[in-house]
Structure 1
Amino acid sequence: MKNILLACSAGMSTSLLVSKMEEAAEKKGIEVNIWAVGQDKAKQDMEKADVLLIGPQMRFMKKKLGKVADEVGIPLDVIDAMAYGRVDGEAVLNKALELMAE
């Protein structure tokens, strides 16, 4: 089971993306646990995750969250703005899987 954490300003705008990512994972036959939180809860949820992807609107928090991600030992990146805007669950899932494989 792969645990993918998404973080955005309030955790609301990523909820649809979570659904689309789950659909893409199901089609690929990959077992995942994907959830979204607001920026305030991201730090505490990182310990349960294998990767953290943050919304493009939170790009400014990458460095701050990156320090915590390094301590926990998980990769972190910003979700591609185009994939985020299109709610492209497959593209975001692929990015998460790619980061976990590195």
Structure 2
Amino acid sequence: MGMKRIMLACAAGMSTSMLVARMQKAAQEKGLDTEIFAVPASEARSRIEQEPVDVLLLGPQVMYMEAEFKKKLESKGIPVGVIPMMDYGMMNGAKVLDFAENLVRGQ
């Protein structure tokens, strides 16, 4: 799959840090070359302009921003998805990583 940059955006960027760590561990176990990081949703737009990403995952608490991000990022070919609430709540890094991979593949 090559180096992939996965950005997670949530309300404040803090609750997602544990999920990022678990996703990084899952990526390492799969031998994937990824950079996974979290930012507050309020900073996501400017960060994407500065550092292009391959996929944007939104935390369930900011799912209301999905349409706005999809509209803005569609022309850049950056898929956007809301992390499934169950996987987010359980901090299931492997499942969220799979979700991100599927979005990148267009599935």
TM-score (norm 1): 0.95
The total of aligned residue pairs comes to 102
Aligned alpha-carbon RMSD (Å): 0.9
SS of residue in 1 equivalent to 2:98: helix
| Deviation by residue 1:29-80 (Cα, 9 ceiling, x = unmatched) | 0010000000111112224210000000111111111111213220001000
Does residue 81 of structure 1 match 2:85? yes
The alpha-carbon deviation at position 86 of structure 1 amounts to 0.3
SS of residue in 1 equivalent to 2:101: helix
The 5 Å alignment of 1:45-64 reads: 45-47=47-49, 48-64=52-68
What's 1:44 paired with?
Answer: 46
Could you tell me which runs of 5 or more consecutive residues in structure 2 were left unpaired when the two chains were aligned. Answer: none
Could you tell me which runs of 5 or more consecutive residues in structure 1 were left unpaired when the two chains were aligned. Answer: none
Q: 4+ residue stretches of structure 1 with deviation over 6 A?
A: none
TM-score (norm 2): 0.91
SS of residue in 1 equivalent to 2:13: coil
What's 1:31 paired with?
Answer: 33
Question: Is the contact made by 1:51 and 1:76 (CA closer than 8 Å) also made in structure 2?
Answer: yes
Question: Is the contact made by 1:46 and 1:69 (CA closer than 8 Å) also made in structure 2?
Answer: no
